Amino acid sequence: MAALTDFLPFIRQNISGPLNIMMTDAVLQASVTFCRESLYCRRTVTLVPVAGERCPLTGPDEAVVCARIIRMMGQDRELYTGQDAEEQDDKSLRFKDTHSRVSVLIAVAPRTDAGSVPDELLDFPDTVADGALALLFVQDKKPWYDPQRAQYFRQRFVDGFRRAYREALDRNPVSPFRNPVRRQRFY
């Protein structure tokens, strides 16, 4: 896990004034948004589910939470949320049938109270810094308040997490988007 302070030099290049604690809070918020939008930080969780029991995808002591379920693979076929398993509010799964082994590919994001972020974010330190700068420049009644610069860094942040999403798909071409074939009967 990478420390939040690893991103501060990238932020200090463009802003002066905020305290370190304000910048680390902005880095954490930007990291959460980056991970949820880009799905860049991925983990594979192996489960042995029993029908009707709740299967958590991340532990309560981990610094990350499940942002999205990307793919579930059983022993012989792909499983789908809604058909084979129900997704609970806390991003845990409740399977309808018992399986011997299920491999779940998930995208993770840091917890909102975490002191560190996934190491994968060090691949995009400038993008995370752009997101933090967008949050810092939009703080009202501060000497560094500048909505035009906030909009500029927000746009760079959006472009950055879109680029990260494309890279994540290049590394692992599995996408959470599903468009099943709709069977129709013609009389």
% of residues, the chain, pLDDT over 70: 97
Tokens of 151: 């909009």
Paired sense of beta strands 93-95 and 64-73, if any = unpaired
pLDDT digits (tens, 9 = 90+) for 18-72: 999 999 999 999 999 999 999 999 999 999 998 889 999 988 888 999 999 999 9
What tokens does 179 get? 């468009």
CA separation, residue 67 to residues 50, 62, 70, 134, 165 (Å): 23, 14, 9, 22, 14
> pLDDT tens digit string along 74-131?
888 888 888 889 988 888 899 998 889 999 999 999 999 999 999 999 999 999 999 9
Sequence-distant (≥ 6) Cβ neighbours of residue 23 within 8 angstroms? 8, 11, 12, 132, 136
Buried b (16+ CB within 10 A) or exposed e, 62-93: bebbbbbbbbbbbeeeebeeeebbeeeeebbb
SS3 13: coil
Q: What is the mean pLDDT of residues 137-159?
A: 95
